[in-house]
Structure 1
Amino acid sequence: MGSIPDLETPSHTSRISTVVPATPRGDQNGEFQLTYMDLLMKLHYIRPVYFFPPEAVQGLTISDFKKPMFMLLDTYSHVSGRIRRSESGRPFIKCNDAGVRIAEAYSDKTLKDWFHENGLYSVDGMVHDHVLGPHLSFSPLVFVKFTWFKCGGLSIGLSWAHVLGDAFSAFNFMTKWSQILSGHIPPKSLHKPNNLTEPAEFPQYSITENPISIKKARVIGEYWLGANDNDVATHSFHFTSKQLQQYLLTSYTTKTKTKTSYFEVISAMLLKYIAQIRGEFGPKVVTICTSNISNREENEFPNNGLVLSKFEADLASDISDLARLIAEKKIVENHIMKKLVERDEGKEDFIVYGANLTFVDLEEAEIIYGVKLNGHKPVMANCTFRGVGDEGVVLVLPAPPEDNGDGRIVTVSLPEKELHQLKDKIGEEWSIV
């Protein structure tokens, strides 16, 4: 299974246009070389969505939204480029000012009606469903979709090719766009980060050993998209700060001095739930995806600053022990992945999210609420990933600011049957739908 985007009839889309950098590069077109982690993530796409009430967009037009993008792309010039291949076959980005795509859409529903019918945290239809291919040299790396609602509200959906950078980079791109919209001068240049994916010490592996956190992928035709054996569906759960605090007080015993985060506790809990659903086929090894957000600078160049670790789960452990073990016993695999990708010049196709059941720590990504229109933050923001493998992915994101800053949005992509069972289980135990 697996599906390519329906580019012909996206729901309610009326117009697609292109925005290019404000300053043409002319003969100075450059090449942006992709890192091993960029190439490892090339079959995945990051899709954040922001919903704004009518008062946030009063007086703003599509022309107003496009103008900051011209200036932003002067700084993020490679984002408006296109994929090329070197003589060896290794992909790179040609910075040719081909631009990003802007999609305009209209809904005959109010925001209230849309949330009532689709759920408060659903993003279905709010992102232009794009993937790279079949002609890579013509495929935009970014789509931004603006959907106007009948009430005057607005959603902004970003489809960001993961080859450009991780979720923090995607969120930061949209935050910078909104800052320019509000009158801030864009940075003249971005800081190139140090290699964030190389820990100081890591265990010794043979180059012949395959990392557990990824797997080779079957792609769909000439698209940069992995094929699935099952239909993977997505649903989001809102765990409030009150629920999480109560859970920690009543169910979580502190057996050691190891401090565990909400991400580790939620990961341990959902690992137990999904293992119960899968029975004897339950996950024995999972992937933990983290990023050292404290090392990132405000005007940092987009990058895939991810740390991918394997965790061998003892499913007989209780949730508190599992959370502690996730914090203490996960084993970083980036170094062997680097050898694997570089040896093949990035020509091999891999799946990361969903190769194993994958838990992604985005709980420090408050920047997702950094996008503001007319001084208003979004009433809701969420993020999903495109290109998730059959084992599924769990994203742990911050809840809206009104939840005292301590709640979490947990966005889960699993095979449909398993997702229905997980919804039933969380509904029974947490009264969350």
Structure 2
Amino acid sequence: MGSLPDLDNPWRISTVVPATPRDDRNAAFQLNTMDLLVKLHYIRLVFLFDSLAAGGLSIYELKKPMFPLLDPYAHVSGRIRRSESGRPFIKCNDAGVRIAESRCDRTLQEWINDNRNGVVEGLVHDHVLGPDLAFSPLVFVKFTWFKCGGLSVGLSWAHVLGDAFSAFKFISKWSQLLGGQALPKSLHMPNLPEPQISPNSISEDPPISIQGANIVGEYWLPAKDKDLATHSFHITSEQLHHLVMVTSNQISYTTKKTSSYFDFISALLWKCIANIGDQNSGPKVVTICTSKTNRPENEFPTNDFLVFSKIESDFWVGKREISELVKLIAENKVVENPEIEKIVENDEGKEDYIVYGAKLTFVDLEEANAYDGVRLNGQKPIMANCAFHGVGDQGVVLVLPSPEDNDLDGGNGRIVTVSLPRDELDQLKDKLGGEWGIH
């Protein structure tokens, strides 16, 4: 992967605080159970803009909307503290978010050509919480200028603040302010809908979607045994339609009607990963992460919409048809949230867990507003991506929207960002490229 040498200074870091100082700098934002569950994970977003979109924008103009943005997002500029019982919370002390500036001696197109894996490293500040939580920012925004005048906007968002949809909405609100739109005076606290699940699809067994974790020193980061690498695959709309067409012939009308593109992509990746290495050791149990629907536009950041489900197969996945896995994913999800929340709440967030990568985890981000939601000078990003940090050894697969393809149908494919042990990822690239032409 190409480096990011700076033309001037290696780093320039500053702090942005809310435009309106809080009356009570000791106010506390209480973290709920789902927040505490994901506290070792981080969400990293990148948006790449060409010189037309970035033209005329100075660092002053890019930073200016952040000040009023943080008024309704007061806890985002706070810092982690612990209560007397040891339970973490956020002190809303207006300590601010960090802004990092960098310059690259390549053009934007050269960067894309040199980084065909599409990962976000280098364009997002590599931040985690700790070792001194009281001084660790929860958010970093990094602006990187390319030699051609293009610009990268990179967001590193502590998952404890909210899920990936919350992170997308945060940076989307920033771009709306930058474009002259008004910001709502307040954000809606989530009015959570009941999940659309049947009673027999709720697990009463100990959850397999989470596992206890050891952390790296005093950092909120899980220690790992394996060297994980990340790669983003682009599935074009033509390839996506082909996958659905060849698979749909083998599934019932009911399954086809209730299945999403996410289900088909997850089934394909599950089968391919199961065929890597020892042919009897592929994952028979996976985690599916989805989000409850009907999220409000001006939603307060939250993790409460996350739904973690397990899917268990009683057969070796690598030998089965993709259609069988599509049916499993669409119809056999067993929600584990009640059991997970019970475990985390009983220890008041003092214990450490991982959920992404505890088992092979598929995350549905198809509805993320990555292209229409974030604009500079009215222009969409030419590329957007998301990756998770703090992933467990079993790996994670994120399914995101892609920019509009140049196919005749003008449809949209998907970006599939995969983090796996490095040797497994190399084999997955060979399988997807050789058998499906997906790179």
Class of the TM-score when normalised by the shorter of the 2 chains: over 0.9
- Contact in 2 for aligned 1:41/1:352 (Cα 8 Å): yes
Structure 2 residue runs of 5 or longer lacking an equivalent are: none
Return the offset for 1:205: 5.9
Whether 1:38 aligns to 2:14 is: no
TM-score (norm: length of structure 1): 0.94
- Contact in 2 for aligned 1:143/1:158 (Cα 8 Å): yes
Return the offset for 1:251: 3.9
Structure 1 residue runs of 5 or longer lacking an equivalent are: 1-8
Q: Distance between the aligned counterparts of 1:217 and 1:280, measured in 2?
A: 26
Matches within 5 A, 1:160-179: 160-179=157-176
Q: 1:388-431 deviations in whole A, cap 9, x for unaligned?
A: 11100000001113463431100000000000000011110122
Q: Distance between the aligned counterparts of 1:197 and 1:344, measured in 2?
A: 26
Whether 1:401 aligns to 2:414 is: no
Matches within 5 A, 1:115-194: 115-119=112-116, 121-194=118-191
Q: How many residues align?
A: 422
Partner of 2:348: 345
- Contact in 2 for aligned 1:399/1:405 (Cα 8 Å): no
Secondary structure, counterpart of 2:264 in structure 1: helix
Secondary structure, counterpart of 1:37 in structure 2: helix
Secondary structure, counterpart of 2:70 in structure 1: helix
Query: Which amino acid in the other structure matches residue 427 of structure 1?
Result: G
Secondary structure, counterpart of 1:370 in structure 2: coil
Return the offset for 1:42: 0.3
Q: 1:213-246 deviations in whole A, cap 9, x for unaligned?
A: 0000010000000011011000001001111112
Whether 1:384 aligns to 2:399 is: no
Return the offset for 1:132: 0.2
Partner of 1:336: 339
Matches within 5 A, 1:76-91: 76-91=73-88
Matches within 5 A, 1:26-105: 26-27=23-24, 29-105=26-102
Query: Which amino acid in the other structure matches residue 299 of structure 2?
Result: E
Q: Distance between the aligned counterparts of 1:245 and 1:341, measured in 2?
A: 41
Q: Which moved more, 1:81-90 or 1:273-282?
A: 273-282
Secondary structure, counterpart of 1:399 in structure 2: strand
Q: 1:159 and 1:149, CA in 2 relative to 1: closer, same or farther beyond 3 A?
A: same
Query: Which amino acid in the other structure matches residue 424 of structure 1?
Result: D
Return the offset for 1:312: 0.3
Return the offset for 1:194: 2.3
Q: 1:343 and 1:199, CA in 2 relative to 1: closer, same or farther beyond 3 A?
A: farther
Matches within 5 A, 1:3-18: 12=6, 13-18=10-15
Return the offset for 1:185: 1.1
- Segments of 4+ in structure 1 off by > 4 A? 196-206
Q: 1:218 and 1:310, CA in 2 relative to 1: closer, same or farther beyond 3 A?
A: same
Query: Which amino acid in the other structure matches residue 290 of structure 2?
Result: T
- Contact in 2 for aligned 1:197/1:307 (Cα 8 Å): no
Query: Which amino acid in the other structure matches residue 423 of structure 2?
Result: K
Identity %, equivalent residues? 64
Q: 1:3-25 deviations in whole A, cap 9, x for unaligned?
A: xxxxxx98634200000000011
Q: Which moved more, 1:43-52 or 1:279-288?
A: 279-288
Q: 1:205 and 1:311, CA in 2 relative to 1: closer, same or farther beyond 3 A?
A: closer
Q: Distance between the aligned counterparts of 2:264 and 2:24, measured in 1?
A: 53
